A = this chain, B = another copy of it.
Amino acid sequence: MLKLADARRIIDAAEKKAKEIGQPMNIAVVDEGANLISHIRMDGAWLGSINIAINKAFTSRAFNISTKELAENSQPGDQFFGIHVSNHDRVMIFAGGIPLKDSKGEVIGAIGVSGGSGVQDQTVAEAGAGAHTC
């Protein structure tokens, strides 16, 4: 089970990366139930990204997939096109959400990052996920 201490360590690692690349971010971590454990908005990060970061984390745990991969299946004509309006508009289909797994490979939570380009969000989310220890 992911605890607050884990969420904080993951968020700290993501925040460090965001500072390195010079882009303030919103960073969120959800648990096994896809429920928020913690969120931070770095100084100067976009207000609209509060909701997006939290919901990228929700999405990644809700479907056990990165939002970047989900995006590839959710474009017009794709098998999941339209999924973004499900779950009360909480499904984010662009990069920045990554599942977190336990030592058996089971998804036990997720990180969501929003505040820059898709590439930046993904980079920061990966840095956060990298600080997760099974």
Contacts and interface: CB of A to CB of B under 8 A. Distances in A.
A37 B71 CA distance: 27
B35 A38 contact: no
Contacts of A82: 71, 74, 84, 91-94
Given A4-B40, A86-B89, A89-B88, A79 B117 contact: yes
A89 B89 contact: yes
Interface residues of A, number: 54
A48 B62 contact: yes
A66 interface: no
B83 A85 contact: no
A50 interface: yes
